[in-house]
Amino acid sequence: MKALLLADWGKPFYPALRKKFPAVEFAEAYADADIKREVADADIVFGYLTADQFRLASKVRWIQTLDAGMEGLFRRIPDVVEADVTVTNARGAGAPQIGEHGVALMLALSRGLGDFWRLKQLRKWDQPHGLSIVQMIAGRTAGVVGFGKSGKEIAWRCKALGMNVIAVDRRAVDGDPIVTNVWSADRLRELLARSDYVFVTVPYSAENENLIGETELAVMKPTAYLIVTSRGRIVEHRALVKALREKKIAGAGLDVVIQEPLPPDNELWELDNVIITPHIAGNSPELDQWTYDIFEDNLHRYLTKQPLRNVVDKRLRY
């Protein structure tokens, strides 16, 4: 059995991988010509192939991807949907970091840290303004849209901070002990109406694109904040800008946006009630290790014919 390793950041981990699985032939390839040569007789791929490389992968039966988001894979290789290939992703490797980052954005918004940073640049001590904007999150309601691994990491942290937590998900998900019940997707607007902080953690799919648009934003409290850590296209961009400009919602914390990098002339840069971070919520020095750990565990499962972790539903594309 041959496994093709495409992630160059994994080089420090590969000697241990070879030692642990001596029966597997491991090949590392990083240049296109090398990948095309090696993939022809590979059974397993760790990383991403291009469409041309995938056409040569006649023996591949399992692809372990390096991220939680899957739209890139399906955009590059639409043929993988119908192919006899199992796809798994790295869902969960960045979830604790996303939990911390989502809560950090919430705290920054609730305590007015953006305003205080701007005042610092002006060397201005404005206590009356500060007293008028700071809020306490204990006792407030956090609504989590998408109760997967990242959503749960945000939710339990919110609960630990004394918040009431509610959640919706398209799937039947056990929310215990964080929430009593995870609501079905048809209760999204009810969640939006009740929440003081809305966290968007659903994966991207065609079905989820513009899940939150003008109608959904309109039911949110004018004092509520929207925090998005999954994909920018889950929230309709024009509707979000309009709601923020007109103060239909209090503000937003965005780690992901409709176009990345966000162009310098995008309207979001101009808005004082928005905090923007450059799609780094899931990152930390531990991310590579945890992504590799998922592959190593799945490789053991694959060789011993056990169910794989993080199998992607190719019909839903996540």
Render pLDDT for 296-316 as a digit per residue (tens, 0 to 9). 999 999 999 999 999 999 988
Low-confidence ranges of the chain (pLDDT < 50): none
- The answer on 238 and 100 residing in a single domain is yes
Whether residue 81 sits in one domain with residue 43 = yes
Whether residue 75 lies inside any domain: the answer is yes
Q: Do residues 170 and 72 both lie within one domain?
A: no
Alpha-carbon gap, residue 119 to 126, rounded angstroms: 8
| 206 and 74 Cβ atoms separated by less than 8 Å | no
Plot region of 276 (φ>0 → left; ψ -120 to 50 → alpha; else → beta): beta
Q: Are residues 112 and 204 in the same domain?
A: yes
- In-domain check, residue 14: yes
Residue 298 lies in a domain: yes
Task: Say whether both 106 and 156 belong to one domain.
Answer: yes
Characterize the bridge pairing of strands 164-168 and 86-88. Answer: unpaired
Predicted pLDDT of residue 112: 97
Q: Show which of 276, 294, 311 is a domain's final residue.
A: 276
Say whether both 223 and 87 belong to one domain.
no
| Total domains present in the chain | 2
Check which CATH number belongs to the domain holding 70 and give it: 3.40.50.720
**84 and 226 assigned to the same domain:** no
Rounded to the nearest 10°, the torsion over CA 52, 54, 59, 62 is 170
Residues 79 and 114 occupy one common structural domain: no
Which pLDDT belongs to residue 313? Answer: 94
pLDDT on residue 316: 87
Q: Which residues have a catalytic role annotated?
A: 231, 260, 279
Q: What six digits make up the tokens of 199? A: 């966290």
Instruction: Sheet containing 62-64: give its strands across.
Output: 25-28, 2-5, 44-46, 62-64, 86-88
- The answer to whether residue 230 sits within a structural domain is yes
Answer yes or no: do 85 and 124 share one domain.
no
Q: Has residue 315 been placed in a domain?
A: no
Please give the residue range of the domain that contains residue 32. Answer: 2-93+285-303
Please check whether residues 149 and 8 belong to one and the same domain.
no
Same domain, 128 and 140: yes
Tell me, yes or no, whether 314 lies in a domain. no
Nearest C-alpha neighbor of 11 from the set 23, 32, 25, 28: 28
Indicate whether 316 belongs to any domain.
Answer: no
Torsion of CA 178, 179, 182, 183, to 10 degrees: -150
35, with CB counted inside 10 A (0-12, 13-18, 19+), is: buried
Q: Are 139 and 163 in contact (CB under 8 A)?
A: yes
In the prediction, which pLDDT does 317 show? 87
User: In this structure, are residues 81 and 111 in contact, taking their beta carbons and an 8 Å threshold?
Assistant: no
Structural domain includes residue 245: yes
What span, in angstroms and rounded, lies between the C-alpha atoms of 196 and 71?
30
251 in the same domain as 173: yes
